[in-house]
Structure 1
Amino acid sequence: MDFDLPTDLVVYLAELDAFIAAEIKPLEQQDDNIRFFDHRREYARTDFENQGLPRREWEQLLVEASRRADAAGHWRFSAPKKYGGKDGSNLWMAVIRDRFAAMGLGLHNDLQNEHSIVGNFPFVAMFEHFGTPEQQQEFILGGFARTRRTAFGLTEPNHGSDATHMETRAVRETRDGVPGWRIDGEKMWITGMHVATHCAAFCRTSGEAGNARGITCLLVPAETPGMVIDEYLWTFNMPTDHPRMHFEDCWVPESAMLGPEGGGLAIAQSFVHQNRIRQAASSLGAATYCVEESVKYARQRKPFGEELARNQAIQFPLVELATQCEMLRSMIYKTAWQMDRLEASEGGHKAIERELSDKISMCNYWANRLVCEAADRAMQVHGGIGYSRHKPFEHIYRHHRRYRITEGAEEIQMRKVGAYLFGYLGPRKGMFD
């Protein structure tokens, strides 16, 4: 077994480091852009007088950084080559995300907006697997050209983790001789609607509550009458781009349907594994950053004439966190490598669900928990300055705390692991019957 990173990956990491130093760090420093990353970051990013939405200058800066990364050939790295990408693998993306987050806050990789100079594009997989050729042309190429941006309309006020009981409904209705769908219902936490051109609205079109079948995905243009944003929900980490919204007599034509009628839940789950392993890698990198910064500070700080690091009460919690980081890194990289092998196999995504879904959930829920523990410990080690906004630990905690709820709450992921472990699902199914 060879645990060394591939040589070409190591070379590419060096290329990314050079690009960040030459292009991104200078942009981060010019025109007081550092205000978005220093102690002023939450205020600088948030237009508190406009529903708490992101300030336009902040989002423009992120666009400029990704534009430069795209010109250098990095932004679309994970996308297929036919869309200008490099067919970036799960292993490579995990290593890059881990490395970037371990660098600390910066314009190279600010996950509060899911921004990175090496982008993550779940919409590509969604349209690649379920879209018509026309939809692929419009939404994949349009997404990279920034003329299309699709928000993910799954969650509802009364139904979060359990999408099978969603109350939003769509019924067939013809208007002006054009067949289509009328949508009525409520949605919540629909991230990015303030800049989205479309909402991928998941609606029950048949079947009973609790059935996985009978849910359909409809692409609703943002200006469609009857799709209304009610409010943007202020969150632990501001700015917000998460609205509560409703559909009332909202009509779209038949061509708005993405994927098969009644098969929308498969769309919602199609890229969850890819997202979860990359999110786990990011949380791991941020945890590593917190540990390393705490070690440096403990060696420099000298209360009572001795390094803070001499105290076992400082050492031992950081030793445990560092140990968990090392173990988790091995598991994340191994799992990402296994995902790549299964993706290339005849089984593809279905094989990943059957063989690896529990391992991906293990990586994700543990990494998201670990980074919160590491950020909290960094605040404790740094004392008062660690609690202040002049250090990034409070921001890291506030941001990564959401991942213990989103992309599948950790309880949902632990339930998945339990189902595989006890043989209700996965390769061990039936083993104990």
Structure 2
Amino acid sequence: MDFALPADLIGYLAELDAFIEAEIKPLEQQDDNIRFFDHRREWARTDFEHGGLPRREWELLLREASMRADKAGHWRFSAPKKYGGKDGSNLWMAVIRDKFAAKGLGLHNDLQNEHSIVGNFPFVAMFESFGTQAQQQEFILGGFARNRITAFGLTEPDHGSDATHMETTAVPETRDGVEGWLINGEKMWTTGMHVATHCATFCRTSGAPGAARGISCFLVPTDTPGLKVEEYLWTFNMPTDHPRVSFTNVWVPDSTRLGPADGGLSLAQSFVHQNRIRQAASSLGAATFCVEESVKYARTRKPFGEALSKNQAIQFPLVELATQCEMLRLMIYKTAWDMDNMPHEAIESQLSDKISMCNYWANRLVCEAADRAMQVHGGIGYSRHKPFEHIFRHHRRYRITEGSEEIQMRKVAAYLFGYLGPRNKLFADL
């Protein structure tokens, strides 16, 4: 058993560090772009007068950084080689995300916008697994060219994490000899609709409420008559690009259907594992940053003439957090490695519980670490002149949005008690 990171991965991390210093840090400093990361960050990023949306100059800066990374061959790292990527593995992506977040806030990696110079592209797997050849060409290549941006319309106002009691419906309707579907309903937290060209809209097409079977996905162009952004919901961490969207007699041709009719929930699950392990690594890295910054501060701060770090009331909570970081890092890396060493279709049945363990625990840990960092730093830690309040407010969302921690714990319980997964055989007699 070898716990050492591959030498070529270590070399690539050094290459990324050099690229950040040469290309991204200067961009971060020019034209007062640092305002998006210092104490002015929430105000600089948010157009409070226009629904709380991201300011255009903020999004253009993120785009410029990713374009530079794409030119250098880094942005598409995780994508298949046939789309200009490097077939980046789950282990490599987990390590990169961990290391990037541990650097702190910066243009190299700002997860409030899901931005990184090493991008995460779950839509590629989704379209490769479920799309027609025409859809793959349009949405994968168009996604990298930025002329196709797909929002994700799954959650509904009255049902939250329960996608099976879906009230948005699609019924067959033929218009001018073209078979299609008439969609009516509402979606919540449909992130990115202010720039999206399409919304992947999940609808009940058959079956009873609560049934997993009978849900279909449609790629609805955002300029389709009857589709309306009702409001952008202001959140704990601003800006917001999370709207409530209504669909009133929205008609789309059958060619917009993604994946099999009535099999849409499988599509929704198709990329959740990659997302969860990478997001867990990011939360781990951010937690590590909070711990390390607290240690540095405690060594230099000298109230009453002695270093703050000599107090066990400061030491012990940080020891607990540092211990959890180290244990979680091993589990995340091991789980990512396991994902790389089994068929993609086997991950749900063999490893889904471990991925959920990594994700929900990492999201708790970073919130605890950010809160402790504020406490160690005292008044300045509570201010926006330190990044801990931003880290707390941002990562707090992941205890809800990446599959709530209760949903993920339910998945772990199902595997632990043998209702699902490999341990099912242990309880076969029951």
Q: TM-score range by the shorter chain?
A: over 0.9
Structure 1 residue 350: deviation in Å?
A: 2.5
Structure 1 residue 407: deviation in Å?
A: 1.4
List per-residue Cα deviations over 1:329-378 (Å, max 9, x = no partner).
00000000000001xxxxx2331111100000000000000000000000
SS state at 1:261 partner: coil
Distance 2:409 2:344 in 1: 21
Give the residue type in structure 2 aligned to 1:144: F
Alignment of 1:41-190 (within 5 A): 41-190=41-190
List per-residue Cα deviations over 1:204-249 (Å, max 9, x = no partner).
0000011111000000001000111100000000000000011000
SS state at 2:396 partner: helix
SS state at 1:327 partner: helix
1:291 aligns with 2:286: no
SS state at 1:163 partner: coil
Distance 2:110 2:185 in 1: 33
**Aligned partners of 1:100 and 1:285 also within 8 Å:** yes
Query: Which position in structure 2 is the counterpart of 1:374?
Result: 369
Query: Which position in structure 2 is the counterpart of 1:278?
Result: 278
Give the residue type in structure 1 aligned to 2:259: G
Query: Which position in structure 1 is the counterpart of 2:262?
Result: 262
Once the two structures are aligned, what percentage of the paired residues are identical?
A: 84
Distance 1:312 1:352 in 2: 43
Give the residue type in structure 2 aligned to 1:371: V
Query: Which position in structure 1 is the counterpart of 2:220?
Result: 220
SS state at 1:391 partner: coil
Gaps of 5+ in 1: 343-347
Distance 2:309 2:92 in 1: 35
1:232 aligns with 2:232: yes
Query: Which position in structure 1 is the counterpart of 2:386?
Result: 391
SS state at 2:401 partner: coil
Deviant stretches of 4+, over 2 Å: none
Query: Which position in structure 2 is the counterpart of 1:205?
Result: 205
Query: Which position in structure 2 is the counterpart of 1:316?
Result: 316
Query: Which position in structure 1 is the counterpart of 2:248?
Result: 248
Query: Which position in structure 1 is the counterpart of 2:414?
Result: 419
Give the residue type in structure 2 aligned to 1:364: N
Structure 1 residue 430: deviation in Å?
A: 3.9
Structure 1 residue 175: deviation in Å?
A: 1.2
1:7 aligns with 2:7: yes
Distance 1:298 1:59 in 2: 36
Distance 1:406 1:283 in 2: 13
Query: Which position in structure 1 is the counterpart of 2:401?
Result: 406
Query: Which position in structure 2 is the counterpart of 1:331?
Result: 331
Q: How much is the aligned-residue C-alpha RMSD, in angstroms?
A: 0.5
Give the residue type in structure 2 aligned to 1:393: F
List per-residue Cα deviations over 1:371-416 (Å, max 9, x = no partner).
0000000000000000000000000000000000011000000010
1:358 aligns with 2:353: yes
SS state at 1:78 partner: coil
Give the residue type in structure 2 aligned to 1:33: N
Give the residue type in structure 2 aligned to 1:243: P
Query: Which position in structure 2 is the counterpart of 1:345?
Result: none
SS state at 1:380 partner: helix
Gaps of 5+ in 2: none
**Aligned partners of 1:225 and 1:250 also within 8 Å:** yes
Structure 1 residue 259: deviation in Å?
A: 0.4
List per-residue Cα deviations over 1:58-98 (Å, max 9, x = no partner).
00000000000000000000000000000000000000000
**Aligned partners of 1:290 and 1:378 also within 8 Å:** yes
Distance 2:385 2:4 in 1: 37
Question: Which TM-score applies when normalising by structure 2?
Answer: 0.99
Distance 1:24 1:93 in 2: 19
Number of paired residues? 428
Structure 1 residue 178: deviation in Å?
A: 1.2
SS state at 1:184 partner: strand
List per-residue Cα deviations over 1:295-338 (Å, max 9, x = no partner).
00000000000000000000000000000000000000000000
Structure 1 residue 176: deviation in Å?
A: 1.8
